[in-house]
Structure 1
Amino acid sequence: MDYIMKIKEKLTLSNIFTGIIVIFVLAMLLSPDFKGLMTQNLMKIGLFQPEVPKGPTDELAAGISANSKSEEILFKNPDGEIIELSDQKGKVVFINFWATWCPPCIAEMPSINKLYSEFRDNEKVMFLMVDVDNNRTSSQKFMDKKKFELPVYTPASSIPSSYMSGAIPTTLVLNKYGKVVFKHEGMGDFSNEEFKTFLTKLTIE
């Protein structure tokens, strides 16, 4: 009985709360999936909304082009074929640089998948989910496990720093003329109505 009483004395609310906090912090540090899940919940209450450009898209993209043959940007598509970014003129291109071990990337992926599901049948919009680790097997396994339908691409050339300076996730949108009209470093909720309207507008400009 004395032994049980001693245990009860140690299990104060303060100790229990401290233990929960320690477990939570360890989970955040050791599990990218758990950290991604927590961040997803924050996104659901309106945080991490990407800032959509308000002005004319051509003005916003001054000097950043995907159509310069002197600096061709290449990717390998899901079928293993090399594609040139400059050849995608006429399409609105959504590019997301990500990695399977990156919690912010994991957190924003459901919103990108939802966006993709709404535009996947639109021939004027192209999605490139670019695995910066260049490990198609691992990245496709991640997509399959999460039941995401997003097409996995890998880099097949160097990526200009104007596109990605090293931070992931980094998301770009190119207009039909190959100009970068949107760039966002860090996670974002890309399933919101404002962003969808922005993407739709680009297809008709």
Structure 2
Amino acid sequence: MKKNSIIMGIFLVFSTLMADAQSLPNVKVENADGKQIEVASLVDGKPFILSFWGVTCKPCITELNALNEVMDEWRKEVDFNIVAVSVDDSRFTSRARSMAKGFGWQFTCVFDKNQDLKRALNVSLTPQTFIVDGKGKIVYSHTGYTPGSENELLDKLKELKAE
């Protein structure tokens, strides 16, 4: 009986941790204008792709360029947004801003120069990509990028639409 109680206790703690881990944390980041915003303000009822990147991460930039190319086409099937989160510290933030502008990314870029959001979501490697539903719940995550893997993101967005 005691063994079952311990297992049940562990299960309840784990379930609680998992439920908390699935919510988008509300920390502050900088928007493209350099103003502090709360991450919760990015949640607007539409699902979105949340992609962490850095200026020295070539796979990150390749993934974001691929997403930028397919975004308009995908929006014909699913109404969604993309938020690119630069994890570069204050020394590289201006470079990240100019890179985002230079690539012509047509999505929201925010700058996590204190890496609060990165830490809150336990991001250790970039690119790290999440899908967040319209209520701010994280429903999917993957690390790394290979050409074509962005199509998995579209499949996950379509699943959200079907729910």
TM-score (norm 2): 0.67
Match of 1:79 in 2: 33
Matching of residue 185 in structure 1 with residue 143 in structure 2: yes
Matching of residue 131 in structure 1 with residue 86 in structure 2: yes
Instruction: Return the offset for 1:107.
Output: 2.7
AA in 1 matched with 2:133: N
Match of 2:56 among 101, 107, 122: 101
Instruction: Return the offset for 1:186.
Output: 0.9
Matching of residue 165 in structure 1 with residue 120 in structure 2: no
* Pairing of 1:35-54 with structure 2 (within 5 A): none
Distance 1:117 1:190 in 2: 17
Greater CA drift, 177-186 or 133-142: 133-142
Going from structure 1 to structure 2, the CA distance change for 1:190 and 1:117 (only over 3 Å counts) comes to farther
Moved beyond 4 Å, runs of 4+? 119-124
AA in 1 matched with 2:100: M
Match of 1:154 in 2: 111
Instruction: Return the offset for 1:204.
Output: 5.4
Instruction: Return the offset for 1:121.
Output: 8.9
The 3-state SS of whatever aligns with 1:106 is helix
The 3-state SS of whatever aligns with 1:159 is helix
Q: Does the aligned pair in 2 maintain the 1:76–1:82 contact within 8 Å?
A: yes
Instruction: Return the offset for 1:190.
Output: 4.9
AA in 2 matched with 1:77: N
The 3-state SS of whatever aligns with 1:142 is helix
Matching of residue 141 in structure 1 with residue 98 in structure 2: yes
Report which of the two structures shows the higher radius of gyration computed on alpha carbons.
Answer: 1
Q: Does the aligned pair in 2 maintain the 1:90–1:124 contact within 8 Å?
A: no
Match of 2:69 in 1: 114
Question: Identity across aligned pairs (percent)?
Answer: 23
Matched residue count:
141
Q: Does the aligned pair in 1 maintain the 2:140–2:156 contact within 8 Å?
A: no
Deviations 1:117-169 (A, max 9, x none): 34579995232111101444211322333343343211266126562332011
- Is there any run of 5+ residues in structure 1 with no aligned partner, and where? 1-60
Deviations 1:34-89 (A, max 9, x none): xxxxxxxxxxxxxxxxxxxxxxxxxxx7442336xxx5222222233333233415
Q: Does the aligned pair in 2 maintain the 1:176–1:202 contact within 8 Å?
A: no
- What's the RMSD between the two structures over aligned residues? 3.1
- Is there any run of 5+ residues in structure 2 with no aligned partner, and where? 1-17
